[in-house]
Structure 1
C-alpha cells in the first residue's frame, strides 16, 4: 500500500508530519514543480518525497488536502480512479449549497473522482492540532471518518491508528458526514473539536 498527499499547504504539511512521525513513506505533490517545495518536504523527514501530480496519483490512498475549489482540477489528473481510495480533507466553507445541488460537499468530491472509494476525514482539525503528536495526556487525538463505503472507512481507520490517532466512524456522508462538513457559511457541529480518546 502506498500513500500520497495532494496539496502541501498547512494541512498537507501537517499530514506529512503525521506520516513522518510514524516512519511511513508518503509522496507529496501540488500542481507546481516538486523542486519548489522539496526543501519543505526534506525538513519534515526523509520519507516525505516530493513528486509531480502525475506521479503522486499513482498511489493507492490519496489524501486530498487542497482548497475545495481545486478538487476538480486534481480529479482531471486521471480519467478513472477505480481501485483508489480518496481521503477528502477539504472544507467547502463559503460554497453555496445550491452549487453542490444541495448535497454534502464530499458527495460532490466523490462524483469528481470517478470510480474511487471516498472517505471524509482528517478535515475537522486545524493544521496546528493535526500537525502535533496525537498522543495527548495518555490518550489519542480523535479523527472522525465518514464514508458510504464501510470497507474504505475501515481501511482509513486502520491507517489513522498507524498514524497514532483514534478513529471514530460516523456513518455515511449524508448522515454522520454532515457533522464534519461545512454547509454554506456554517460549520458542521464537530468541526474544530479537538477531542482525545482514552482507551
Structure 2
C-alpha cells in the first residue's frame, strides 16, 4: 500500500517507521524541505518527500500535524481522489493551540477538522502516548494487547485503517462515527489509558459528553506543575485515575 504522512513529529515519524517496516511504501513530509527529514529516514525505507508528493498516488494519507494547522491542509488535499482514505491523528489542546470556538462549544474535534480540510476523516492513533506507540505494540493475538479507538463514517475506510493499526502493534476498537468521536478525545477514559480491547469498549461506553475538556485541562495542569512525572507509566496511571 502507498501511504503518505504529513507531519514528522513523534507520532508521524513513529508511524512512518512502523509502516515502512511492514512493507508499505511510505512517504513522509513536514512543513520544511525533504532534506530536513534525513535524520528520520536514514537507514530506513521511508521516502522523504514534499507535502505535494506525499499525497500524490497514495491509498492512505495520515495527517499528524498540530491541531490548529488543519485548515492549512485544505488546498493540499483538494485534488486527492475521493477514494483515498485520510486519517486524523491530532488532538486539541487550547493551552497549546489557538482557541477554537466551535470545538470549545462542543463540536467533536475531528468533525471540525473534517470541515476544515474538506474531506471525510478517520480518527485514530490520537489516543495513545508517543511512548506507547514506540514501545507498547505487540503481535496480534497477544493477551491483553493494548487497543486504541477508531472513529469514522465509512466502514470500508475504517476497515483499511484498522488493519494498519494492527500492523503498528495495537488492536483497533470501533468507536462509532465522527459525530461520536468525542469519546476518544483528551480527557476521556479511552484517551491514553492503555486498555485491552474489552476494557476500552467499556471506557468508550462510560464517557460523558461535555466532561472531557475540564478533565483534559486538569491532567495538563498536573503535568505542567510537576506533580506527575513525565514518563509513560506515571502519565498512564494519572490519566486512568483522573478520567475514571
TM-score bracket, normalised by the shorter chain, equals 0.7 to 0.9
Distance, in Å, in 1 between the alignment partners of 2:197 and 2:77 is 38
Mapping for residues 113-152 of structure 1, pairs under 5 Å = 113-114=117-118, 116-132=119-135, 134-135=137-138, 138-139=142-143, 140-152=145-157
Deviation at 1:138, TM superposition (A): 3.1
Distance 1:165 1:32, change over 3 A: same
Match of 2:114 in 1: 110
Deviation at 1:181, TM superposition (A): 1.5
- 1:78 matched to 2:81? The reply is no
Mapping for residues 50-61 of structure 1, pairs under 5 Å = 50-58=48-56, 59-61=58-60
Deviation at 1:96, TM superposition (A): 4.6
Q: 8 Å contact 1:6–1:65 — kept in the other structure?
A: yes
Query: What is the CA deviation profile of residues 4-53 of structure 1, one whole-angstrom value per residue up to 9, with x for unaligned ones?
Result: 1110011111212321342322110012000011232224x2x2111000
Q: 8 Å contact 1:84–1:117 — kept in the other structure?
A: no
Instruction: Give 5+ residue unaligned stretches, structure 1.
Output: none
User: Which is helix-richer, 1 or 2?
Assistant: 2
C-alpha root-mean-square deviation of aligned residues, in Å? 2.2
Tell me which of 162, 167, 171 is aligned to 1:162: 167
Deviation at 1:80, TM superposition (A): 4.0
Q: How many pairs does the alignment contain?
A: 190
Q: 8 Å contact 2:86–2:120 — kept in the other structure?
A: yes
Q: 8 Å contact 1:37–1:50 — kept in the other structure?
A: yes
Q: 8 Å contact 1:3–1:60 — kept in the other structure?
A: yes
Q: Alignment partner of 1:28: what SS? A: strand
Match of 1:181 in 2: 185
Distance, in Å, in 2 between the alignment partners of 1:75 and 1:97 is 17
Distance, in Å, in 1 between the alignment partners of 2:65 and 2:2 is 19
Q: Alignment partner of 1:86: what SS? A: strand
Distance, in Å, in 2 between the alignment partners of 1:22 and 1:164 is 11
TM-score, length-scaled by structure 1: 0.85
Deviation at 1:117, TM superposition (A): 3.3
Instruction: Give 5+ residue unaligned stretches, structure 2.
Output: 199-244
Deviation at 1:112, TM superposition (A): 2.3
